[in-house]
Amino acid sequence: MVKLIPSIILLVSSTCAIAAAAPHTLTLHRQAKGSYKDMAASEGNRWAKKATSGVHTPAINDFFKYNIEVSIGHPPQASYPIFDTGSPYLWVSDQVYDVPKSASARSLNSSITLAYGAGNVTIDLYNDTISLGKDLIIKQELGVASNLTALQIQTEGVIGFAPEAMALAYTNQFSYIPTPMHNLIASHKIGKYLFAVDFRPLRNTTVNVANGQIDIGELDRSKYTGDVIYSPISKKSPFKYFWSTDVPKIKFGGKTMVSDLSAVLDTGSPLILATWKILQEIFSDIEGLGTDGRVMTVPKSQVHKLKDVTFELAGGSITYKTEQYLVPSFLEPDFGPTNGTQYTFFGVFGEFGLPLILGEPLMEHYYTIFDGVNKRVGFATRK
């Protein structure tokens, strides 16, 4: 008999506000030219390289998300799910993974609903062989989705790299589903609960390029310089279930504008997301701050008054430079009509009890480290 586990990921609950962290919180997305497969086939492979230790997986970027190649089943079927540090599970669309065609697929006879910031997805659970890049081959519990209409973004799947704590916390709602990192370690494919992202901002409208890598199991010291700014994972709830950090201060220029926040590091967020109140506090020197509903805009006349935004962490501060948080003009058409304003990479969110989410546009400027061994996150200056 089919065991149907009802769809319960609590979005609002005082004791358990650990909903899957908004991997994709925007309707903002461009019609990708061709499929992710075309992108990866054309350019992705040349980024894949085997290093002496650790494994390097190319990250493929199509403006607002980074996908990695995951082959599923026997014979392998390629898919390009979003690499998401804000949620713990792997699922793909039935359009890219045809279960009956995989000789190694086993049904787990259950189905669950995941509640993302971008909408809900119901998945049927299977167990099959997956391969990340060319080297990491494991048995993995994964979901297959047949209806993505409730999801506000275009994707063929999500691969979750949230900490084990989040998957364990979900056992309130359904039985434990091992994360890809758990299985990588349990099967001795990697030695350490550690990965780092090396994302690269796009410089033009060419989307079919691999923009960076994910380093799993080890850091790649050739990619950064100087000391790493480390900060422990926040002990506060719900942050403790995420890759997160306390943020004692946010500065605009040299001036402290906001104090005592915590933030989630979410590669699945295409913006730096905060409540409207926090954004207004950070940018209180700017007149006429606005939004298009989600993305923060600044009147063109005020752009010269913008200053660097600094996030002060336990181990040091990381700076998001003005020129880094202004949306470059070649990307504007993908954001929409500007109405004479300037788009930024800041956006309005604040659901799920998460007032601040540091998304991929900030991580694009650092070598960003997710260290499960020492329960901390790190930022290093990219070479």
Ligand X SMILES: *[C@@H]1O[C@H](CO)[C@@H](O)[C@H](O)[C@H]1NC(C)=O
Q: Residue 302 or residue 374: which is nearer to ligand X going by CB?
A: 302
Q: How many chain residues are in contact with ligand X, going by CB under 6 A?
A: 31
**From candidates 37, 134, 139, 305, binder to ligand X by CB under 6 A:** 139
When asked if residue 141 is in the footprint of ligand X (CB under 6 A), the reply is: yes
Q: Does 147 bind ligand X (CB under 6 A)?
A: yes
Q: Which one among 16, 99, 150, 165 touches ligand X, defined by CB under 6 A?
A: 150
Please report whether residue 297 would count as binding ligand X according to CB under 6 A: yes
Give the DSSP letter string of 137-150.
EEEEEEEEES--TT
Q: State which of residues 206, 284, 301, 329 lies at the interface with ligand X (CB under 6 A).
A: 206
Q: Is 11 in the site for ligand X (CB under 6 A)?
A: yes
**Residue of 185, 132, 166 lying closest to 17 (CA atoms):** 166
Cα(297)–Cα(9) distance, rounded to whole angstroms? 33
For residue 263, count other CB atoms closer than 10 A to its CB: 27
Residue 203 as a binder of ligand X (CB under 6 A): the answer is: yes
Each residue of 176-186: b (16+ CB within 10 Å) or e?
ebbbbbbbbbe
Residues 347, 296 contacting (CB under 8 angstroms): yes
- Nearest approach, Cβ of residue 129 and ligand X (Å): 9
What lies within 8 Å, CB to CB, of 25 at 6+ separation is 117, 118, 269, 270, 271, 273, 294, 347, 349, 357
Q: Which residues lie closer than 8 Å to 30 by C-beta, 6 or more apart?
A: 62, 63, 64, 207, 334
Binding segment for ligand X among 76-84, 215-223, 330-338, 346-354 (CB under 6 A)? Answer: 330-338
301 binds ligand X (CB under 6 A): no
- The verdict on 149 binding ligand X (CB under 6 A) reads yes
Restricted to residues 98-117, the positions that interact with ligand X (CB under 6 A) are 107-109, 113, 115
Residues 29 to 58 in contact with ligand X, rule: CB under 6 A? none
Q: Tell which one of 57, 213, 269, 341 touches ligand X (CB under 6 A).
A: 341
Instruction: Name residue 70's amino acid.
Output: V
Residues forming contacts to ligand X in the complex (CB under 6 A) are 7-9, 11, 107-109, 113, 115, 119-120, 127, 139, 141, 147, 149-150, 202-204, 206, 209, 290, 292-293, 297, 336-339, 341
